Amino acid sequence: MKELLLDHGMRVVGRKQVLRALSKDEAAEVFLARDGDPFIAREIREAAGKAGVPVTDAESMAQLGRACGIEVGASVAASLKISN
């Protein structure tokens, strides 16, 4: 997970950015923190399901934030598809 999310140009962090990436068919994989807001988790899982994008659970918001290279927790992040 960490390798996929550390490249700042190839990931988005946060509900709005992940939903935008899913709607534009830019997300390759979504990562959800287990201790994040259940409302956000349902919303993201539904959008990812519609987009056909896999969802991977992260242990915690702190772990997901660290994997993204940020100093705060993150409830959701997504790795982006590589475009040529």
CATH number at residue 55: 3.30.1330.30
Q: Which residues pair with 76 in a beta bridge?
A: 32
34: tokens are 């287990």
Which are the contacts of 82, defined by CB distance < 8 A and separation ≥ 6? 10, 28
Look at residue 84 and tell me if it is in a domain.
Answer: no
Look at residue 40 and tell me if it is in a domain.
Answer: yes
Mean pLDDT by 10 residues, the chain (84 residues): 60 96 96 96 98 96 91 94 74
- Which helix H or strand E contains 76, and what residues bound it? strand 76-80
Looking at residue 1, its pLDDT comes to 53
**Number of domains the chain is built from:** 1
Q: Round to the nearest angstrom and report the end-to-end CA distance of the chain.
A: 22
Is the full-model pTM beyond 0.85? Answer: yes
